[in-house]
Structure 1
Amino acid sequence: MNGRWIAVTVIVGAMVFGGAAATYASDEQVTGAQPTPTAPPDYTPDKPIEPSLSGSTVVPACAQDVPWLTYRVQMLDPQARSTGNTASLVLTDGSNTVTLALGTLRPDGTLSGRILWPGATIGADGRGTGWPGWETRGGELVETTGNYAWTRGNITATIEVNPSLVVAVSYPPATPQCATGPRTQLSAAGLPATGGTPQTLLVAGAIGVAGLALGITAVALRRRGRV
């Protein structure tokens, strides 16, 4: 009997141990417990690439006596992180500010064109009729501290989309081919107002004619004396 009990005890113990092992294996399979993986020593997570307006430009120009701002906006955003696609140009001298709407970027992230300088106007013929720092009073253009006169001085320009970019901009200088301010005003007779009145010009012309006649007479008298 003792030998039988010993055998039974061994068999029962083996069954209990085997069941516990099977239960542990089963739990491991169910829970999917696996050793915690370790990252390789040279692994680094992807760094976000911020959008950029690098390469965008704003160039002042003059055409047919009209000051323009010619622009090209180019946004680089490989991870589509920008939250806007509408471009504007902000001009400021530190005290005054004006915002010029440029438009919506194309699907490729670019936008180009030109926009009038603040305070400038164009006539029906496409030529300039107004300029910053000038206004019409009594039918004549006169200088003023208004009408965006400050934009002709030291200013800062910023292209804004989200992100933004500061660019160098200054009022275009006048040339013989293109005026960036009023040309010489003409009088009713069509003569330059700065050249004198029609009466003074007629007197000057008469004096010139008289001098020419005297010169011709003197030459004639010399020739007669020689004969």
Structure 2
Amino acid sequence: MPAVRMKSLKIVAGALVAAALVVAPLVTAGATADGPTAPPTAAVADGVPQLVKWVPKSNGAAYWEDLYSAHMVKCYKVDGPNSSGHGSVSTDGKTVTLNRFDQSWPGDHWELLVIKAGDLWNSVIVHPAAGVAYDSPVNNGGQQAQVSHWIVCKGQTPEDQPRAVTPTLTWTLPSCEGEGELFQTAGVTWLSAPGANGSTIWMATPAPGNVFPQGVPTQWTVPDLSKLTENCGSDEPEQQPRPQTSESSRTTVDCTSATATVRTTTTTAEFVWDETAETWQPGEPSSSEVETDRPLTQAELGTCPLVPGEIQSVCVGDVPYLGYAVSLPEGLVVDSSTPVTITFVNPDGEDYVVANQPLSGKLLWPGASDGNPKMWPGWDLVDGEYVQTDGNFAWTRAGVTVEFEVNPTYATEVEYPQATVLCANPPVGSGDEPAGTPTSTDAEALAVTGGGVSPIIVAAGGTALLAGVAVVAIAAYRRRHARAE
């Protein structure tokens, strides 16, 4: 047959095939055996797998080259679940992943990927993307089958279409003899911007007439290559690690001098080169100590005890009181003129607590009353007569611990006035004098000496102190936190 006629027939045949590709229905995962026998055309969405009915001749790479000759493709077949320089099959044998397209290869992009599995279908992907795991087709049982072979084709973008370019950027570390190098894909416009820690951010955009495939990276961060020099044969790395350091401190509070002593211990371990392990190792640690003094903080002053003055029971007329004076630790500042809380500690029950008191003054004894009728602790008024009782704070008569608290605390034991003192008990019996009333001589003596009454007690309204003062056992004041560490 003449050559001209053969060429005409080939053109006609190609047109028929192209027409068949346009009108042939594409097959999905649920397609039947009546699906198309030709691959999808470039009109199909890029990177979308399509099931195409298997025919024996579709097993050859030339079959696909003929169908895609318009893009000047070169196809390669890989038998079985094997890998090649173009891509690889997963360990379970059910997916194929292409490598990044090398611009030194024929063509300029991946044109086609054909995955054969089972005995019914080819899975055909037009313009597959590198790095994507494409599934094999299903077998006649509807299960994903093992890859029996796969075919990959390279394409050349026609001159009237944008050329597909995959941007890549790699670099080498500087050696002892030279500097590091960057390798950037041609046909790409590269822009740079400074990054963190001396690095450089490179951004890629297509040069005129070129396009990037979908999903390819377009930005890279390149470290400062001048700081990544390869080891030039030295027995030690270029930079010794910084020493390991740790600090600990201990604070001692002295309330007497209102100072705090801080002892700071610093431990340092230098790194030394280990010839055997060929690495830096922490050396023996060494310690140093520094001691400094500073004034106490308000919080620290709050741990110091109150400073006591005279604290004792007193009588004003026939009424018992607690007279007291305490001072704040030197330097402590409070925001109230009545910061003191006074507590009579009940060893067997509920305490008696009075808040918002000044730093010095007198406080009516628990169970006592200076009004009408007057009352005394351990006594009750029944049918107009005073009778003794275990109630009405009788527990305060045998010596009681009294605590004074602002934030600092002070505690001491205070004795109730003795029975011979005028204010100890109420008047009882047939007479008008209270039981245990002192003689006139005793009264005169009390009036003269004051019975040891503290000068902190001031008789209100000019009232004289008529009764004596009980024996007071003022214990050495205790400190809640005499020395805080």
Q: Which category describes the TM-score, using the shorter chain as reference length? A: 0.5 to 0.7
Selected match of 1:158 from 385, 403, 409 = 403
Q: How does 1:63-82 map to 2 (within 5 A)?
A: 63-78=316-331, 80=333
Q: 1:76 to 1:141 in 2, by over 3 A?
A: same
SS at match of 1:184: coil
**Shift, 1:139, TM fit:** 1.1
Of 326, 330, 340, the residue aligned with 1:87 is 340
Separation of aligned partners in 2, 1:191 and 1:121:
18
Between the aligned partners of 1:153 and 1:120, the Cα distance in structure 2 is 15
- Sequence identity (%): 32
Q: Is the 8 A contact 2:320 2:364 kept in 1?
A: yes
Residue in 1 aligned with 2:392?
A: 147
> Are 1:83 and 1:162, in contact at CA under 8 Å, matched by a contact in 2?
no
Query: 1:45 Cα shift?
Result: 4.1
Aligned mates of 1:157, 1:146 — CA distance in 2: 19
Match of 1:46 among 286, 294, 311: 294
1:99 counterpart letter in structure 2: V
Aligned partner of 1:183: which letter?
Answer: P
- Equivalent of residue 357 in structure 2, options 93, 103, 123: 103
The separation in 2 between residues aligned to 1:114 and 1:162, in whole angstroms, is 20
Partner secondary structure for residue 44 of structure 1: strand
SS at match of 2:352: strand
CA root-mean-square deviation: 3.4
Deviation, 1:156, is 1.2
Higher normalized strand content (fraction of residues): 2
1:50-83 alpha-carbon deviations (Å, 9 max, x no partner): 2431234421112321111011121124154x68
Q: 1:93 to 1:154 in 2, by over 3 A?
A: farther
Mapped contact 2:386–2:428 kept (Cα < 8 A):
no
Contact 1:93–1:154, Cα closer than 8 Å, also in 2: no
Q: Match of 1:180, SS?
A: coil
Counterpart of 2:177 in structure 1 is none
Decide which structure has greater helix share: 1
Structure 1 gap ranges (5+): 1-39, 105-110, 193-227
5+ long unaligned stretches in structure 2: 1-287, 435-485
Distance 1:63 1:148, change over 3 A: same
Structure 1 length-normalised TM: 0.52
- Paired residue for 1:175? 420
CA contact (8 A) 1:57 1:167 kept: no
> Which string of whole-angstrom CA distances, capped at 9 and with x for unpartnered residues, describes residues 128-164 of structure 1?
8210011111111111111111111242111011011
Cα distance in structure 1, aligned partners of 2:370 and 2:376: 9
Aligned pair in 2 of structure 1 residues 56, 101: CA closer, same or farther (>3 Å)?
farther
- 1:113 matched to 2:361? The reply is yes
Is the alpha carbon distance of 1:185 and 1:119 closer, same or farther for their aligned partners in structure 2, counting shifts above 3 Å?
Answer: same
> What residue identity is the alignment partner of 2:394?
A
